Amino acid sequence: MKRVFLTCAALFVSLSAAFSQDVPTREIGLRTNGFNDLGFVYKKQKSENVYKRYRLAFGNLGLGIVNGSSLVNLSVGGAIGKEKRKSINDRFQVVYGTEFIPRLTVSHSPGGNVSVDDGTFGKITITGSGNLLLNTSLGIGFMIGAQYNISPKWYVSAEVVPTVSLNGTFGSGVTIYGLNAAFTSSNVGLTGMYRF
C-alpha cells in the first residue's frame, strides 16, 4: 500500500510540474501612438521577466498630386530590443529596456518639389524634375512604461521611447546628414497584447 501511495504521489508531482510549465511565452499585439499610426508588436520570453521585442510599423504610403505633379512616398520602420519587467503587484508591472530602431523612406517626384526631413525637425525642399530620394535613420530608444494585466492572456501597456538617431538623405544631388534626439508625444505608445 505504501508503494502505491508513493507511486501515485510521484506521478501527481511529475504531472503537475509538466502542466505548470504551460505558461505563455509569446505575445502579439497592436501598438499606436496616434489615431493614424498603428504597428505590430511581437514579444518572446527569454527568461523570467525578460523579453525580446520586435515592432513593425508602416509609417507612410502615399501618392499626392499637386498642379499635375505627383509625389510617391513610402516609409517603413521597426524596432528590435530587450524588455525587462518588474512586478508592482498581481496586475501592474513596470517595463523598461532598449530598442534598436531602423527606418527607411523613399520619395519620388517625376516633376516638381520634394520636401524631406533634414534630421533636425526641419524640412528642406528640393526642386527640379525626376527627384528620387532615400532617407535612412538608425537610432536607439530607451523604453520605460507600465503594464496592466487584464487577464492571464491579455494586457495593455503605455510606454514612452525617447530616441537618439542618425539620419541621412541621399539622391538627386543631395546628401544630408543629421542627428536627432527626440522626446515628444509621438514617442508615447499604447499597446494591447495577447499572450499565447
**pLDDT (tens digit, 9 = 90+) per residue, 97-132?**
999 999 998 888 776 666 666 555 666 666 666 778
Grid coordinates of 111: 516633376
How far does CA 57 lie from the centroid of its chain? 7
Assess whether pLDDT exceeds 90 at residue 4. Answer: no
- Whole-angstrom CA distances from 167 to 66, 67, 184, 195 are 28, 30, 18, 35
Assess whether pLDDT exceeds 50 at residue 8. Answer: no
Helix, strand, coil % in the chain, rounded to nearest 5: 10, 70, 20
Assess whether pLDDT exceeds 70 at residue 90. Answer: yes
- pLDDT for 190 equals 94
Mean pLDDT of the chain: 83
Confidence of residue 183 (pLDDT cuts 50, 70, 90): confident
| Rounded-to-integer distance, Cα 181 and Cα 134, Å | 21
- Residue 140 and residue 163 in contact, taking contact as beta carbons nearer than 8 Å: yes
| Rounded-to-integer distance, Cα 179 and Cα 138, Å | 10
Please state the domain extents for the chain.
24-195
- Whole-angstrom CA distances from 171 to 75, 93, 131 are 16, 46, 8
State pLDDT tens for residues 25-84.
999 999 998 766 788 999 999 999 999 999 997 667 777 776 666 778 888 899 999 999
**DSSP three-state, residue 25:** coil
| Rounded-to-integer distance, Cα 139 and Cα 129, Å | 31
- pLDDT for 133 equals 85
Query: Among residues 54, 73, 85, 66, which one has the least CA distance to residue 157?
Result: 85
Domain 24-195 annotated CATH 2.60.40: no
Q: Any idea which of 2-16, 46-60, 151-165 has the lowest mean pLDDT?
A: 2-16
What are the backbone dihedrals phi and psi of residue 122, each rounded to the nearest 5 degrees, phi first?
Answer: -115, 175
- pLDDT for 71 equals 75
